[in-house]
Every structure is written in structure tokens, then in C-alpha cells.
Amino acid sequence: MTSWLGYYFVFVALVSIVIAALIYRMQVRSAGRLTALILILIVSPVLLSYFVSIYFNPLPEIMVPNLTGKSLAEAEEIISTMDLNLQIESQAGATEVITNQRPEGGRIVKAGRTVFLTLGERLPQVETTEEAFDSEIE
């Protein structure tokens, strides 16, 4: 930040010298236009440095943990160690477990992002077709 401030002061000094030379050489009569030009030239580096620092400064990236099937307390414990936020998007029935999450587990997101959770009842384990087929053969 100190280097940006130094560059800004150098820029303001150079702009002031150039504007003073223009005023002396051209004998400008319109003070309103000159004032607007000076303000634009002095304020533009501040705005430019603000946008550069926001859009091009890399934020840390985090892998979202898979929270599906866990309780809300477990999810809060896992997320508390990361730079992520939790928000309950919807609740269906008894709120025992997380049935869905956005973004999905395993996705890479920027730090500070919110993970939206859908809470619902724990679904009973369903026998897969392979397990059913194997039990019929025996």
C-alpha cells in the first residue's frame, strides 16, 4: 500500500506541474473546466488503484468439504476451521441431517464464500440392485 501511495503523490506532483504549465502557456479563462480537469486527473489514480486491488488481488481458494449426510453441528464444527460461512437454505421435516449443499463438496471456491445447506430427515438405507441380486442368488 505504501508503494501505491508514493506513486500517487508523484503522479499528483507531475499533474500539478503540467497543469500549471498549461495555465501559464494558454492563459485559460474558463476556471470551471480547468477545475473539473484537475479533479479528474487527481482522483482517477485513486479509483484505478481501488479497482485494481479489488479485482486483481488474488483471494485464497478453499476446497468445500462434503457436508451431505452430516448433522448441522458437525457441519458447523468442520466449517469453523475454514474461512467459509454456512447458511441454511431450507428445512424439510425434522432437521436431522444435511441432504443437499451448494456449492457441492470438492469444489474450489474463494475464501469467505457462503455454503448453502438444505436440511431434512435422515433417509433410510436402500438396498442397491447389486446387493438385492446377490441376496437372491444365495
Q: Does the residue 108 lie in any domain? A: yes
CB atoms near residue 49 (< 10 Å): 15
Q: Are residues 72 and 52 in the same domain?
A: no
pTM, to two decimals: 0.51
Q: Are residues 73 and 104 in the same domain?
A: yes
pLDDT digits (tens, 9 = 90+) for 81-127: 998 999 988 877 666 789 899 999 999 998 889 999 988 876 556 66
pLDDT digits (tens, 9 = 90+) for 30-46: 667 777 777 787 777 77
Long-range contacts of 10-14 (CB under 8 A, 24+ apart): 11/45, 12/42, 12/45
Which structural domain range is residue 8 located in?
Answer: 2-56
Q: Does the residue 135 lie in any domain? A: no
Q: Are residues 72 and 114 in the same domain?
A: yes
Q: Are residues 52 and 71 in the same domain?
A: no
Q: Are residues 67 and 114 in the same domain?
A: yes
When divided into structural domains, the chain yields a total of 2
